[in-house]
Each structure stands twice: as structure tokens, then as C-alpha cells.
Amino acid sequence: MILELKHIFKNYDQGKMSVPVLKDISLDVEKGEYLAIMGPSGSGKTTLMNIIGCLDRPTSGTYLFDGKDVLEYKDRAMSDLRLNSIGFVFQSFHLLPRQSALDNVALPLSYAGIGKKQRKAMALKALERVGLSDRVDFKPTQLSGGQKQRVAIARAIVNNPKLLLADEPTGALDSKSGSQVMDLFKSLNDEGVTVVMITHDSEIAAHAKRIVMIRDGELFIKNAPSISGEDNT
Ligand code: ADP
Ligand code: MG
């Protein structure tokens, strides 16, 4: 199991009030799964993604990532885990505007202490994997939305993370670029990458192998986990 969340609650303090945003969420995700977490705006998707991605901590509950009790980790150990084990894809790409595609993709590797030559080789390989070998020297302003998201995906996978975590990855894209991103997620998942994708869009969610619904901070699990190659009837 790559993710085990049990009885996760998250409250935000608003003045004297404590507002519950995640209410008793339990979720298991197996290695190799492709899961969509689907729900309307304001339902708590990004809050849940931040917890899964070790960017934030729940108010209560337990969370094991790859069998490790990450809530016991100090902030530094959590950021190391993020760097080494989780690739993030966001709706708005989060690319550095003045850096080339290659440098954007190589950036997490420099934080991870990998040497310059190897960084370049790994970044080139990741850009090749997303079909952008011919755009390595382009800056984000010289790329279309779909190409920017593919650069962001290359950056997310450059370190061979255990988990690819995407928050509304097609939210800023036209439908053609969106379906290219979905094709890419599928091929990455076929290669063994665990994908957790957050979306409000049922057509996008339908690309995943399993869908769970979140509504008003509560999770609704419809069917059992299915992993690549397994029958799920
Ligand atoms: P979604 O991604 O599904 O649109 P969010 O997780 O962003 O939903 O937000 C869920 C709820 O939590 C919303 O009502 C939002 O206002 C509230 N919320 C999110 N972040 C904070 C915060 N930092 N402080 C207070 N309330 C927050
Ligand atoms: Mg959100």
C-alpha cells in the first residue's frame, strides 16, 4: 500500500470558530493504482491533496506513506520525502518563467543534490518521455498551455517518484491539450507510476481506474481498488 489514511480530520481556525473541512476521511491506495478524487469546488480536494502530498498536516488522524508514519516526521524530513517520493502537477503549472523547459525540469534534482551533468541527462530524458525533446530550450512564455503542463509533468516525474499527485491538471487547458495530458498519465500509470488525480470534472475523472467522491469534506468510496491488469468485478 502506498497511501493509508485513517480517520483524517482537518479544521481551519477562523477567529474563534474551528471550521471542519475534512471529516473522518479514510482511504487506502495501492501501488500502481490510478485514482481520481472527484468533488465540487469547495469540497476539500486541495486540502486533502496537501495532506497526501505532505504539504500540510491534518488536525487528527493517521497517515502512512509507503508504510511510514509521516505525521511523526519533522518538517525537514517531510520536505525530503516530498522531494524524493512525490511528483506534483498543479492546474497553473508553477513553472519558473525565466528558465528554460530543461532548467525547470532539472530544478528538483539540484535540490536533491544531483550533479549538473546528471541533472541535464535526467531532465532531457523526462522531456523526451512527455514528447518535448524539441522544446528543451524554450521558456514557458514560448510554450502553449498544454506544452507547459507537459513540462510540469516532466518535472514531476524526473526523480522517478513513487506517487504522481495532480490537482486539477487539465483545469487550465483546452480539451485537446487536456486529453494529451490524460494520455500521458495513462502511459505513466501503465509504466507503473501510482497516480492520484484531483478533479471536479467527471469526464477527466473517468480516465482513472478508480474514482472516489468527496463532498463537503466527506469521502464516498464507490468500488474496490483495482490495479493494473487486475479484474475489478
Ligand atoms: P476544493 O479544492 O475542493 O475546491 P479546498 O480544499 O480548497 O476545496 O477548500 C475546502 C474548504 O476549506 C473551503 O470551504 C475553503 O474555504 C476552506 N479552506 C481552504 N483552505 C483554507 C485556509 N487556509 N483557511 C481557512 N479555510 C480554508
Ligand atoms: Mg482545489
Distance 44 CA to ligand 1 centre (A): 6
Sequence letter at residue 108: P
Q: Contact, 201 vs 192, CB < 8 A?
A: no
Phi, psi values for residue 122, rounded to 5°: -70, -40
Protein residue with least CA distance to atom 10, ligand 1: 44
For ligand 1, mutation pick of 9, 10, 21, 200 (most atoms within 8 Å of CB): 21
41 lines ligand 1 (CB under 6 A): yes
Distance 209 CA to ligand 1 centre (A): 27
By C-alpha distance, which of 11, 19, 3, 18 is closest to 58?
A: 11
Residue 28 carries which DSSP code? Answer: E
- The neighbourhood of ligand 2, an ion, using CB within 5 A, equals 45-46
Q: How far apart are CA 159 and CA 112, in angstroms?
A: 9
For ligand 1, mutation pick of 12, 18, 91, 201 (most atoms within 8 Å of CB): 12
Question: Residue-wise pLDDT tens for the chain (233 aa)?
Answer: 999 999 999 999 989 999 999 999 999 999 999 999 999 999 999 999 999 999 999 999 999 999 999 999 999 999 999 999 999 999 999 999 999 999 999 999 998 889 999 999 999 999 999 999 999 999 999 999 999 999 999 999 999 999 999 999 999 999 999 999 999 999 999 999 999 999 999 999 999 999 999 999 999 986 555 555 555 55
